[in-house]
A and B are shown apart, each in its own frame.
Chain A
Amino acid sequence: MPFLPDFSFYNAIVYIFKGTSLTVALIVGSMLTGLLVGLPMAAAQVYGPRWARYLVGLYVWFFRGIPILVLLFLFYFGIFGVVERFLGEILGRKVGVPPFVATLATLGLTSAAYQSQIFRGAILSLHQGQYKAALSLGFTRVGALAHVILPQALRVAIPAWANEYSILLKDSALAYVLGTMEIMARIRQMVSITHMHVPFYVLAGLIYYALTWMGIRALKRLEERTRIPGLGTADAGGGANDRAA
């Protein structure tokens, strides 16, 4: 341990909080990876040809069916193991994929599976005539998605996305198994030095609680700021609204 000779609780807590930035980077990175991969998958599953829908279904089925812990090991030793060996042979020297990268890829690609279903539901909740109307105005299929469907689907998806954030945040606590020095890895180091289980795990719980709260709150703000006037609340309709039957 880096400071065994002069261990103090102050140092321990500073050390743990430094791991928080790694956790945050992991979450932001994997949420964005999940968004960038999950969004096209959702669009493909709703509007794509049969083979594309089948492939997305297969992807989702794979990632949803396996525990995150197993996926982390599979990616690290399996896929990245092969990548390391392959790159090593090409470059003629030993190549190591950092645990952070392996963790981010695993969490991001797993989240993509879940997020694709969030966005699929959001797209399907929209009035589909809008897509047709966009095509009738001369939009390409991609243009109709980008300018009409996705701006609305993303808004609808925010509450479910907040859910996915809180789940992913807690899944990230497993990253320590690959040696990513995030919150949980550092907590466990401190526990093994001090043998004080409860105080450090309480601290871990508090940090995760704070991160969850901040993220959810930020997303709630985003939801309110992007709300479409007249839509999105149970008592919808500002003024002369008569949604024709």
Chain B
Amino acid sequence: MTGRPEGSPPGAAGPPLMEARNITKILGGKLILDDVSLSLNRGEFKVLIGPSGSGKSTLLQCVHFLLIPDGGDVLLEGASAVEMGHKNVCAFRREIGMIFQDFNLFDHLTARDNVAIALRKVKKVPKAAAMARAMGELERVGLADKAGLYPAQLSGGQKQRVSIARAMAMEPKLMLLDEPTSALDPELIGEVLNVIANLARGGMTMLMVTHQIGFARHLVNEINFMEDGRIIERGHPEALLADPASRTATFCSRLSELTGNQ
């Protein structure tokens, strides 16, 4: 960690909403996460970037306890995931939403049922209420007219918006986004980024892995640069990107050369 100045996040007072403490994860005999700590205050939007294989996705999954860390703990509003134990891990996960690179919609359900199923089966919301809620969430991502279509009948951008609606319906305290636009055709990226920007403006606490740095720099409170399983730089995007010597700035300028983005 090169100890760069932290940006001043909103609502910095009080305990963080989510605190990941000293996360270590070994996969296939290889150290993927090496003592990583990260915290988010309510309403904060932070980004993880870094070369592939640096552990970004693994970190998201460990924060979510989809992967159980080999060491360390995650606290959500002060409640420890480790202390909750195996039995309550589902309750812990329910409080956190996850958006995947390849959408992972349920192929056998319509868009509306995709959004409603967890409400009904996990939260035990009655069917009519769950359906109404699902329609509301689809409206919010601009897909009310596609409610009856199946995932195979939707475009990539529409699928990702349904998956955001599905996560939001569970009223998560924290949203994790794992390269939400990487699997999309370029002309579909915008519609998904718009939805994410709206969530950010609505005060959703979010941690996103992305390479859309042009999008991120104006919205996020902090960039965390990962390499070899560690966060090696963190700071406000303007500060990090303005410093030509920072690892983040070199990485991002190389990205823009490749993709032609700013």
Interface residues of A (CB under 8 A from B): 126-127, 129-130, 132-140, 143, 147-148, 151-152, 155, 228-231, 236-245
* A and B contact pairs by CB, cutoff 8 A, 15 listed: A127-B107, A129-B100, A129-B103, A135-B66, A136-B98, A137-B94, A152-B108, A229-B150, A229-B153, A230-B151, A231-B152, A238-B152, A241-B155, A244-B102, A244-B156
Measured CA separation A205–B105 after assembly (Å): 47
CB-CB under 8 A from B150, the residues of chain A are 228-231
Tell me if B121 and A228 are in contact (CB < 8 A): no
**A interface, over-half SS:** loop
Tell me if B156 and A129 are in contact (CB < 8 A): no
Q: Does B48 contact A (CB under 8 A)?
A: no
Measured CA separation A241–B188 after assembly (Å): 13
Tell me if A244 and B152 are in contact (CB < 8 A): no
Tell me if B121 and A231 are in contact (CB < 8 A): no
Measured CA separation A199–B116 after assembly (Å): 60
Tell me if B153 and A238 are in contact (CB < 8 A): yes
Tell me if B153 and A135 are in contact (CB < 8 A): no
Measured CA separation A126–B170 after assembly (Å): 25
CB-CB under 8 A from B105, the residues of chain A are 130, 133
Nearest-Cβ distance from residue B150 to partner chain A, whole angstroms: 5
CB-CB under 8 A from B26, the residues of chain A are none
Measured CA separation A241–B166 after assembly (Å): 20
**Best-buried of B103, B106, B149 by chain A (most CB within 10 Å):** B106
Tell me if A241 and B94 are in contact (CB < 8 A): no
A143 contact from B104, B122, B167, B183, Cβ within 8 A: B122
CB-CB under 8 A from B121, the residues of chain A are 139, 143, 147
Given contacts A137-B97, A239-B153, 14 further A-B contacts (CB under 8 A): A130-B104, A134-B106, A136-B98, A137-B118, A138-B118, A148-B117, A155-B108, A229-B149, A229-B150, A230-B150, A239-B149, A240-B154, A242-B156, A243-B156
Q: A147-B117, A242-B185 are in contact. Are A132 and B153 (CB under 8 A)?
A: no
CB-CB under 8 A from A137, the residues of chain B are 93-94, 97, 118, 122, 166-167, 170
**Best-buried of A130, A140, A143, A152 by chain B (most CB within 10 Å):** A130
CB-CB under 8 A from A239, the residues of chain B are 149, 153
Interface string of B94-130 (1 = CB under 8 A from A): 1011101011111110000000011001110000000
CB-CB under 8 A from A238, the residues of chain B are 152-153
**Best-buried of A130, A136, A239 by chain B (most CB within 10 Å):** A136
Nearest-Cβ distance from residue B83 to partner chain A, whole angstroms: 18
Interface string of B166-204 (1 = CB under 8 A from A): 110010000000000001110000000000000000000
Q: A130-B106, A132-B100, A228-B107 are in contact. Are A140 and B152 (CB under 8 A)?
A: no
Q: A137-B118, A138-B122 are in contact. Are A240 and B153 (CB under 8 A)?
A: yes
For chain B, the count of residues having a C-beta within 8 Å of the partner chain is 39
Nearest-Cβ distance from residue A14 to partner chain B, whole angstroms: 46
CB-CB under 8 A from A230, the residues of chain B are 150-153
Nearest-Cβ distance from residue B181 to partner chain A, whole angstroms: 10
Measured CA separation A152–B122 after assembly (Å): 19
Measured CA separation A218–B36 after assembly (Å): 57
4 closest A-B pairs by beta carbon, nearest first, are A230-B152, A138-B94, A133-B104, A129-B104
Nearest-Cβ distance from residue A236 to partner chain B, whole angstroms: 6
CB-CB under 8 A from B167, the residues of chain A are 136-137
CB-CB under 8 A from A241, the residues of chain B are 152-155
Measured CA separation A136–B60 after assembly (Å): 11
Chain A's closest residue to B92 (CB) is A138
B residues 125-161 with Cβ under 8 Å of A?
A: 149-156, 158-159
Nearest-Cβ distance from residue B104 to partner chain A, whole angstroms: 4
Q: Does B64 contact A (CB under 8 A)?
A: yes
CB-CB under 8 A from B97, the residues of chain A are 136-137
Q: Does B12 contact A (CB under 8 A)?
A: no
Measured CA separation A59–B170 after assembly (Å): 41
Measured CA separation A133–B163 after assembly (Å): 9
Measured CA separation A22–B98 after assembly (Å): 53
Measured CA separation A155–B93 after assembly (Å): 29
CB-CB under 8 A from A148, the residues of chain B are 106, 117
CB-CB under 8 A from A140, the residues of chain B are 90
B93 contact from A129, A136, A231, A245, Cβ within 8 A: A136
Chain B's closest residue to A146 (CB) is B121
